[in-house]
Amino acid sequence: MQAMLGRAAGPLTLNSVRASATRLYVLIAWLHVPAAALVAISSHNGWAGPTVALALCALALNVAALTLRDGLALRSFAAIVLTAAPIAFVYASRGGVDSWQIDYHMYFFAVYAMLIGYVDWRPIAVAAALTAGHHLLLDLIDPTAVFPEEGLARVALHAICVLAECSVLFWATRTIARLFGRVDELIDTTAKVTADAIAAEMHENERLRARIAALSAN
């Protein structure tokens, strides 16, 4: 696991953290595939649709992680792929009085928390916006696809919960990013001071050698 996440080599930097996060999200995306099948089967629904959909999402993220450089585009795409999982879980668990459809909504909140690994508030915002748009659209078109009983009030309550969680996550990511920035500044300052000290020491050594050579000549 450590080798896969790239912890063994190199210093810990913001870029290395984000690269490790992408690799972790690819793994999680693939784990969503059998999870969707289990959710559908346990809910006595067809498993092929949600499973194939998440497999395509995982494959697309895998390819993107291998071909794209780290940046907002890759991070946002990872956020979309991860958010697709709870959407698929909710769909796979639809129907029946004993359905766990409501419970699978909790995984939306887990996705927001996982995305803090990017130390960037924007992918979290993308995931939250996708969730809100998905819930609102389904509540207007097919209310029972979101909750067993229709009601915009429930959607609004979930939106408030999402806002509460994401607000703290936004603050946390911005704070951690600033800390990484300060560490980088400290490293740069330390490196400059060290280089200046070494240069001064070398200059002094040259001056002393020249003086010794002059005294020897006399």
pLDDT, tens digit (0-9, with 9 covering 90-100), for 196-206: 778 777 877 77
Of 19-23, 137-141, 153-157, 174-178, least confident by mean pLDDT is 137-141
Give pLDDT tens digits for 42-61.
Answer: 888 999 999 999 999 999 99
* CA quadruple 184, 190, 193, 195: dihedral sign: negative
121's enclosing H/E stretch is helix 121-141
User: Is the pLDDT at 128 greater than 80, yes or no?
Assistant: yes
pLDDT in tens, 66-110: 999 999 999 999 999 999 999 999 888 887 555 787 788 889 999
Residue 137, pLDDT above cutoff 50: yes
Encode pLDDT of 22-45 as tens digits.
999 999 999 999 999 999 998 889
With a pLDDT cut of 70, the percent of the chain lying above it is 84
Q: Provide the b/e sequence for 23-59 (b: ≥16 CB within 10 Å).
A: ebbbebbbebbebbbebbeebebebeebbebbbebbe
Q: What mean pLDDT comes out for the span 171-195?
A: 82
Structure confidence at residue 8 (pLDDT): 46
Mean pLDDT of 168-186: 87
What pLDDT is attached to residue 145? 60
Which DSSP category does 21 fall into? H
User: How many angstroms separate the CA atoms of 108 and 106, rounded?
Assistant: 5
Confidence at 147, pLDDT banded by 50, 70, 90: low
In sequence order, what DSSP letters do the residues of 58-93 get, joined into one string?
Answer: HHHHHHHHHHSPSSHHHHHHHHHHHHHHHHHHHHHT
Name the nearest CA neighbour of 31 among 82, 66, 72, 68.
Answer: 82
Confidence of residue 121 (pLDDT cuts 50, 70, 90): very high
Max mean pLDDT among 9-13, 87-91, 95-99, 177-181 falls in 87-91
| Mean pLDDT in residue range 157-166 | 85
